[in-house]
Amino acid sequence: MESLNQAWSFFLIATSRFQDIEYVFMLIPFVLFFELPLYFVNWMSVFRYLFKKSVDAPVSFPYYPRVTCAITCYAEGKAVQSTVISLLEQIYPGHIEIIAMVDGVQKNLATYQALKELVPVVANYPKRSLVIIPKIQRGGRVSSLNAGLSRAQGEIFLALDGDTSFDNQMISSAAAHFRNPDIVAVTGPMRVRNARKAIITRLQSLEYMLTMQIGKLGFAKLNVINNVPGAFGIFRKSFIQKIGGWNTGTAEDLDLTLRIKQYHQRYPHLRIEFEPGAVSHTDAPESFKDFLKQRLRWDGDLWYIYSNKHKYGISASRMGWSNFIFLLWYGILFQIVMPFSIVIYTIYMAVKLPMLTFFLSMVLVYLFYLGLITLQYILYLVLVSDRKWEDCQAALILPVYPLFQFVSRVWSAFAILNQILNKGHLDSAMAPLWVLKKGKQ
């Protein structure tokens, strides 16, 4: 107790002048008026969903349309077999057509051969088929997805990565939503398959729980879901064909999601849903260097999409007011403005405050976000998680997570600057340079 009193006295002395402590409170308006309300709205939507789920009678009318699973393959090798087998073993009673597009097959013979080895295996599964499309010239993800779309015979089209696997009820859980003719797209939770490999994968696993699961669940129920991931998107094929399929350039998933939203004002009944039972598993970067490379592309692409490809499409007259306000609030304010605000705020504090006061101020900020993250994690674990024992292991990484968030946001500012100054979207492994240049610059 005496040591706590000494620490508190030490802090009071260090921050005794108002002109010092006022800089600490500069963060409060942003957090109070912009960040906390976003979390509040999201969680209120989650609570509403959980309440309705507990009181509504489940709908169980038979609905088993033909489904096409289009797998984009580039350099997965034998790993692609796990993806195909997880689709063959789905408990879905309807027909599942698997189309594997092998991009640049001459340089990707290992993946092509791994798929060929599965051809006799498919015969053991009723109502399952496998089509392999060897693309001689590499064209990137967009080219592969459109090739699969042109061959697809299913009513429902799944755009999947070649290194992603799925729970065996994924298709049956997702397909049920398409009974409703207003549903044009569905996605579900993405879990980190290699979470135990390293600290960085554990951090990403927790991030996926709190953002890609809780965030998408809450926002989907408000019909303002921010993005249908490229590794795991489920679409009504007829609608995707009407809007022209996938477009050139990088960040094809965010591009397609925004194009769908731009029909919302004309067709306000259209919905993008999130299905908690449609679970996928993917591998996250296992080194800090690979993580930074991934986020350099992801975060830089945000600026490319918002300021280049969709600078005329982001408007209430096209998207409707709810999607427009949400995009400004979450997409622009939190994904674009907030990283720069954090960098400027931190530098300003470091310059203006004495070293000790600056350090103690950062400790207060850290403790605030640790409390906020811990509260969200507990709510997720108790109310949402379907694998509580597996997910409770993330508690060990909670103290590090606020630091991970800080580094991620600082790096996001760098990625956006890299896009603005160097057109970073052209430095991507997702497609050849000649394809990326076809997009709007």
Residue-level pLDDT at 11: 47
Residue-level pLDDT at 438: 62
Residues 142 and 275 in one domain: yes
**Domain presence at residue 420:** yes
SS3 26: helix
**Domain presence at residue 441:** no
Residues 41 and 82 in one domain: no
Looking at 286, 304, 335, the residue that finishes a domain is: 286
CB 140 within 8 Å of CB 251: no
CB 291 within 8 Å of CB 244: no
Residues 23 and 138 in one domain: no
Residues 168 and 251 in one domain: yes
Q: What is the CA radius of gyration of the chain?
A: 23
Spell out the per-residue pLDDT of the chain, length 441, in tens.
555 455 455 445 444 444 555 555 555 556 666 788 888 998 999 999 998 888 876 766 788 999 999 999 888 888 899 999 999 999 999 999 999 999 888 888 899 999 999 999 999 999 999 999 998 888 888 889 999 999 999 999 999 998 899 999 999 999 999 999 999 999 999 999 999 999 999 999 999 999 888 989 999 989 999 889 988 999 999 999 999 999 876 778 899 999 999 998 888 899 999 999 999 999 999 999 999 999 999 998 889 899 888 888 888 988 989 999 999 988 888 899 889 988 888 888 888 888 888 888 888 889 989 999 999 999 999 999 989 999 999 999 999 999 999 999 999 999 999 988 887 666 666 656 555 666 655
In this structure, what DSSP letter does residue 331 have?
Answer: I
Residue-level pLDDT at 272: 94
The region, left, alpha or beta by phi > 0 then psi within -120 to 50, assigned to residue 104 is left
Residues 79 and 13 in one domain: no
Residues 18 and 83 in one domain: no
Whole-structure pTM over 0.85, yes or no?
A: yes
Residues 255 and 360 in one domain: no
Residue-level pLDDT at 24: 53
Identify the sign of the CA torsion 98, 220, 369, 292: positive
SS3 320: coil
Compute how many other C-beta atoms are within 10 angstroms of the C-beta atom of residue 269. Answer: 11
**Domain presence at residue 81:** yes
Kind of pairing between the strands at 280-282 and 165-166: antiparallel
Residue-level pLDDT at 108: 86
**Domain presence at residue 41:** yes
**Virtual CA dihedral for 364, 370, 373, 374, nearest 10 degrees?**
-130
Residues 67 and 39 in one domain: no
Q: Which helix (H) or strand (E) holds 366?
A: helix 355-379
Residue-level pLDDT at 345: 85
- C-alpha distances in Å from residue 176, one per residue of 87, 170, 404, 417: 17, 10, 37, 42
**Domain presence at residue 80:** yes
SS3 3: helix
Residues 333 and 243 in one domain: no
The domain that holds 230 is classified in CATH as 3.90.550.10
Identify which of 41, 62, 146, 53 has the alpha carbon closest to the alpha carbon of residue 99.
Answer: 146
**Domain presence at residue 310:** no
Please give the tally of structural domains in the chain: 2
Residues 142 and 33 in one domain: no
Residues 263 and 118 in one domain: yes
Residue the block writes with tokens 């001689």: 136
Phi, psi of 312, deg, nearest 5: -100, -10
Kind of pairing between the strands at 156-161 and 232-236: antiparallel
**Domain presence at residue 373:** yes
Range of the domain at 239: 59-286
Residues 115 and 168 in one domain: yes
Identify which of 404, 424, 219 has the alpha carbon closest to the alpha carbon of residue 327.
Answer: 219
Phi, psi of 304, deg, nearest 5: -60, -45
Residue-level pLDDT at 307: 87
The CA distance from 172 to 92, in Å, is: 5
Identify which of 110, 273, 105 has the alpha carbon closest to the alpha carbon of residue 177.
Answer: 273
- C-alpha distances in Å from residue 260, one per residue of 149, 183, 270, 314, 343: 17, 11, 9, 12, 33
**Domain presence at residue 292:** no
